[in-house]
């Protein structure tokens, strides 16, 4: 699929404020600083759409971006930000869970992990949570530009083992050099039930 139009719609601090419009939603989940907001900017080719920062804890609300007038990309606050106060951590966790539990149109979660590191305990808990509630998810290994192909090959099995996913299920992505961007868009298109050009011609 191609993204032709992307716009910020609104931020939610608590679930229930969003009228929804019935359009499908795809959400980004992961620890603080893993690259959730950057991924949205990379997919939409708009570096200013979602706010990013080298400091963890940038996204503090549930932010909704309307894509092609037909679905939402949802940027969530990160978890596992050690420096946040207990109160802030609880607030963010509440927002993440509140969104995941209540969104009636959530089609898929992209669970982001940093390709350089083994998943954290929080990552494992998050994946367990998604499994427990039957929320479809795809693991995205981010910041691929930071590793050589050989290093990626060594790290991916650890990610697969710890999150109990198959290697072919993991998407490798870089917001810096757009590695994996086309494949991610293809996945999103398929998720939203878009027919491929080839299918249409059959």
Ligand X SMILES: Nc1nc2c(ncn2[C@@H]2O[C@H](COP(=O)(O)OP(=O)(O)OP(=O)(O)O)[C@@H](O)[C@H]2O)c(=O)[nH]1
Enumerate binding residues for ligand X (CB under 6 A): 30, 32-38, 52-54, 56-59, 77-78, 142-143, 145-146, 174-176
- Residue 116's binding partner among ligand X, Mg ion, none (Cβ under 5 to 8 angstroms by kind) is none
DSSP 130-175: HHHTT--EEEEEE-GGGS-HHHHHHHHHHHHHHHT--GGGPEE--T
Total binding residues toward Mg ion, as defined by CB under 5 A: 4
Pair of tokens at residue 47 = 């570096």
Q: Where are the beta strands (DSSP E) in 17-136?
A: 25-30, 62-67, 71-75, 106-114
Q: Which is nearer to ligand X, 79 or 196 (CB)?
A: 79
Q: Which of 141, 199, 195, 196 has its CA nearest to residue 165?
A: 141
x/- binding map, residues 116-155, to Mg ion, per CB under 5 A? ----------------------------------------
H-helix or E-strand containing 7? strand 6-12
- Residue 94's binding partner among Mg ion, ligand X, none (Cβ under 5 to 8 angstroms by kind) is none
x/- binding map, residues 29-68, to Mg ion, per CB under 5 A? -------xx--------------------xx---------
Contacts with Mg ion by CB under 5 A lie at: 36-37, 58-59
């Amino acid at each position: 699929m191609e993204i032709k139009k992307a716009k910020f719609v609104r931020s939610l601090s608590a679930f229930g404020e969003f009228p929804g419009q019935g359009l499908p939603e795809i959400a980004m989940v992961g620890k603080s600083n893993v690259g959730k907001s950057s991924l949205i900017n990379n997919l939409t080719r708009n570096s200013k759409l979602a706010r990013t920062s080298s400091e963890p804890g940038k996204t503090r609300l549930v932010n909704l971006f309307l894509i092609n007038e037909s679905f939402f990309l949802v940027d969530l606050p990160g978890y596992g930000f050690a420096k946040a106060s207990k109160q802030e951590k609880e607030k963010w966790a509440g927002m993440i869970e509140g969104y995941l539990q209540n969104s009636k149109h959530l089609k898929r979660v992209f669970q982001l992990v940093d390709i350089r590191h083994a998943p954290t305990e929080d990552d494992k808990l998050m994946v367990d949570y998604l499994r427990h509630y039957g929320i479809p998810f795809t693991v995205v290994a981010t910041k691929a530009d930071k590793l050589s192909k050989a290093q990626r090959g060594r790290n991916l099995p650890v990610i697969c083992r710890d999150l109990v996913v198959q290697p072919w299920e993991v998407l490798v992505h870089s917001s810096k050099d757009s590695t994996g961007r086309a494949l991610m868009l293809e996945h999103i298109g398929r998720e939203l039930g878009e027919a491929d050009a080839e299918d249409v011609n059959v």
